[in-house]
Amino acid sequence: MCGIVGYFGERNGMPIVLQGLKRLEYRGYDSAGLVLLKENTLEIIKTKGKVSELIALANGREAKIVVGHTRWSTHGEPNYINAHPHTSMDNSIAIVHNGIIENHAELRKELQEKYNFTFRSQTDSEVIAQLIQFFYKGDFEEAFRKMLTKIEGAFGIVALHKDHKQILCARKGSPLVLGVNNGEFFIASDPSPFLEYTKEVIYLNEKQMASIEETGYKIKDFNGFNIEMEIETIPFGIESIQKQGFEHFMLKEIYEQAETIQNCFRGKIRHIENISIKKENIKRIIFVSCGTSYYASLVGKYILEKSSHIPVVVEYASEFRYRHPMLYPTDLVIAVSQSGETADTLEAIRLAKKLSCSVAGIVNVTGSSIAKECGQGIYVHAGPEIGVASTKAFTSQIIAMNLLNVYLNKDPYYRAELIEELEQLPEKVKAFFKTQDVKAIAEKYKDSKYFMFMGRDINYPVAMEGALKLKEISYIPAEGYPAGEMKHGPIALIDENTPTVFLVTKDTVYTKVISNMEEVKSRKGKIICICNEMTEEIERLSDDIILIPKVRWECTPILNVLPLQLFAYHIANANGREIDQPRNLAKAVSVE
């Protein structure tokens, strides 16, 4: 995780890098730092605080070559010493790193014991700077490449040497993108830091490095051989990474969903045959994913099994990759990931490839590691998701599941009906936002100490997503459960202080869910009901009711999750939480 941004050009790079770090804070915000290269000196500024503190510290400084970092700690607590950049023992080299160097302990030991190197931090990253110094004999790039042959693990690295007007960077497992603009260059974990300067980018591939100098840039493999890379143009603008008047990115992203779900199906829904997933000879689909993407995958299972009669298995990527799964060449393993960088999901896909399965991705971030590794799939095109809690990516992933359903379903009448419904969804999403006041209900329950979320069938994963949203941004314990399981244990938690959010749609399990509501009510539990039709039972049993527009069964999760996202948001906000940057979390979990 961690965010990296570097500038090389003719203007003062400090505001660009500082602003860029602010935009990358979603990747980690345990500490921040930067290095300025000026006339054969490296100046380091860092803080154990967030980027806003770094901005205050760096006030008035100028440089044309600057590299910055915002950290999500893995090795070593978040303090000043462990903040990046890290320097070599002789202070000639500075590096920033995103990822984990798995063999750092042995490398550190060897440098210390055999060559008397001294280390300052507890990080795995410091060894990178020390190794470059160890190998340096006047050729920075050669020393950098030698360092790359020694380190194992995942990395996006950017390095400076005080005597070379050059930025060197390398990627393996952690993203790096180069921005180019008439003689000035940007390097960053994603393009957001430099969107107002250029949309022309090169996404570095696995095991590629780049060298940026006054004469231009070169992309090479780790052996130093030049590689011709295509320049791509980013399809979104600066407005997609600004709050545009909303108090938080999360709120903006929630309200964007009418548009983002449309962006997901636009261009595909009426040209479904263009979906680039080979479907011949596929007998089973296995989704691998984590967190919110895992819940979207579960929704996909309900949709695909019921509507297209395809067996679907959903696996936590972190479990899948370590448990010797039974896979067949007729399996299609699909990675579902917003960031496209989640380490466990990426490794699960690599494992599936090794075992001769077809793989595909349902991914938001274009050019991301998972997208590249899969080579086929569906981009959900939700645009940059900056709030750490995933919202618009979830609804777009469910649209993608529906597109996959249309793609695989053999019944033309069914397909036509579903397509029509999908096309009407944006208007229904807008109608929900216009009519329902979730804020007032959320504030009523803001002091509750524990919440349950219940749903059945396709609404069961949505209940789990509602609980996840609430706990990650409000820090209030919450559990999502299949409502039918309640009496096998969780019902013991119900009393007059426990609110339960029920997802009740008028479908095949409606009466079953009403019975579960009765069970809660008879134990004096409070009930917040999210439903798509007001009925006598619902009115009688519920303390609060949120009405969502009616939609087909396959699309109910999209409407049902909207009030849950707002509910979590307003409870967290009423409790003064840091909504876009909740504690201990980061947006792209590119470490195990």
Residue 360 within binding range of ligand F6R, rule CB under 6 A: no
Q: Is 374 a catalytic residue?
A: no
Nearest to 452, CA basis, from 388, 392, 398, 503: 503
Residue in 46, 162, 252, 587 annotated catalytic = 587
DSSP per-residue codes, 231-256: -EE-SS-GGGGS-TT-SSHHHHHHHT
- Which is closer to ligand F6R, CB of 67 or CB of 572? 572
Known catalytic residue at 587: yes
Q: How far is the CB of 316 from ligand F6R (least distance, A)?
A: 10
167 or 370: whose CB is closer to ligand F6R? 370
Q: Are 451 and 498 in contact, with CB atoms under 8 Å apart?
A: yes
**From 17, 314, 589, 591, residue interacting with ligand F6R (rule: CB under 6 A):** 589
Minimal distance, residue 589 CB to ligand F6R, in Å: 5
Least Å distance, CB 567 to ligand F6R, is 14
Give the residues across from 190 on adjacent strands: none
Extract the tokens encoding 455: 């749903």
Rule CB under 6 A: choose which of 390, 396, 500, 560 binds ligand F6R: 390
Both tokens of 365, joined, read 């971030």
Question: Which residue in 19, 192, 339, 369 binds ligand F6R (CB under 6 A)?
Answer: 339
Q: What mask of x and - would describe binding to ligand F6R in positions 60 to 99, judged by CB under 6 A?
A: ----------------------------------------
Q: Is 316 exposed, middle or buried (0-12, 13-18, 19+ CB in 10 A)?
A: middle
Closer residue to ligand F6R in complex, CB, 124/472: 472
* Residue nearest ligand F6R by beta-carbon distance: 291
The one among 87, 307, 342, 395 contacting ligand F6R by CB under 6 A: 342
Q: Is 338 in the site for ligand F6R (CB under 6 A)?
A: yes
| Nearest to ligand F6R of 166, 390 (CB atom) | 390
Question: Which range binds ligand F6R by CB under 6 A, 5-13, 14-22, 244-252, 335-343?
Answer: 335-343
The nearer residue to ligand F6R, 198 or 337, going by C-beta atoms, is 337
Of 296 and 454, which has the nearer Cβ to ligand F6R?
Answer: 296
| C-alpha angle 275-279-285 in degrees, rounded to nearest 5 | 105
405 is a contact residue toward ligand F6R (CB under 6 A): no
Q: How far is the CB of 409 from ligand F6R (least distance, A)?
A: 25
- Residue with smaller CB distance to ligand F6R, 92 or 391: 391
Asked if 422 and 555 touch (Cβ cutoff 8 Å), the reply is yes
Minimum distance of ligand F6R from residue 295's CB (angstroms): 8
CB of 345 to ligand F6R, least distance (A): 5
**Contact call for residue 472 and ligand F6R (CB under 6 A):** yes
Which of residues 288, 389, 404, 422 is near ligand F6R by CB under 6 A? 389
Q: Minimum CB separation from ligand F6R for residue 389, in Å? A: 4
Using the minimum distance from each CB to ligand F6R, give the nearer residue, 169 or 290.
Answer: 290
Longest dimension (CA), the chain: 82
**Whether the Cβ atoms of residue 72 and residue 96 lie closer than 8 Å to each other:** no
208 pairs with which residues across the strands?
A: 171, 221
- 562/588 with CB nearer ligand F6R: 588
Q: Say how far apart CA 252 and CA 242 lie, in whole Å.
A: 9
Q: Which among 140-148, 271-279, 285-293, 303-311 is the span making contact with ligand F6R, rule CB under 6 A? A: 285-293
Q: Identify which range of 180-188, 332-340, 413-421, 445-453 contacts ligand F6R by CB under 6 A.
A: 332-340
Q: How many CA atoms lie within 13 A of 13 on its CB side?
A: 25
- Render 354-374 in DSSP notation, one character per residue: HTT-EEEEEESSTT-HHHHHH
Q: Is 292 in the site for ligand F6R (CB under 6 A)?
A: yes
Considering only CA atoms, which of 362, 3, 352 is closest in space to residue 175?
3
Site for ligand F6R in 430-469 (CB under 6 A): 468
- 33, 291, 466, 557: residue in contact with ligand F6R (rule CB under 6 A): 291
For the bound state, the minimum distance from the C-beta of residue 52 to ligand F6R, rounded and expressed in Å, comes to 23
**Residue placing its CB nearer to ligand F6R in the complex, 190 or 472:** 472
Rg (CA), the chain: 25
Beta-strand relationship, 232-233 and 377-379:
unpaired
Q: Which of 2, 169, 357, 374 does the annotation list as catalytic?
A: 2
Residues that bind ligand F6R (rule: CB under 6 A) add up to a total of: 15
Binding of ligand F6R by 368 (CB under 6 A): no
- For strands 184-188 and 177-181, give the pairing: antiparallel
Span from 182-190, 228-236, 289-297, 525-533 in contact with ligand F6R (CB under 6 A): 289-297
CA distances from 310 to 212, 352, 461, 559 (A): 49, 19, 19, 25
At 68 the three-state DSSP class reads: strand
Q: Kindly give the residue spans of alpha helices, DSSP state H, lying in 475-509.
A: none
- CB atoms under 10 Å from CB of 61, counted, come to 15
DSSP 8-state symbol, 101: E
Q: Binding segment for ligand F6R among 128-136, 288-296, 426-434, 554-562 (CB under 6 A)?
A: 288-296
3-state secondary structure 183-213: CEEEEECCCHHHCCCCCEEEECCCCEEEEEE
The C-alpha atoms of residue 548 and residue 80 are separated, in whole angstroms, by 49
CA 514 distance to own-chain centroid: 36
Of residues 210, 290, 398, 559, which one binds ligand F6R by CB under 6 A?
Answer: 290
Give the N- to C-terminal CA distance of the chain in Å, as an integer: 10
- CA atoms of 418 and 402, how far apart (whole Å): 8
Tell whether residue 337 is a contact of ligand F6R (CB under 6 A).
yes
Residue 498 to residues 19, 475, 491: CA-CA distances in angstroms? 43, 16, 10
Tally of CA atoms within 13 A in the half-sphere of 518 that contains its CB: 8
Of 166, 293, 396, 459, the residue at the interface with ligand F6R (CB under 6 A) is 293
Q: Which residue's CB is nearer to ligand F6R, number 121 or number 368?
A: 368
DSSP state, residue 579: T
Residues near ligand F6R, by CB under 6 A: 290-293, 337-339, 342, 345, 389-390, 468, 472, 588-589
The residues carrying an active-site annotation are 2, 587
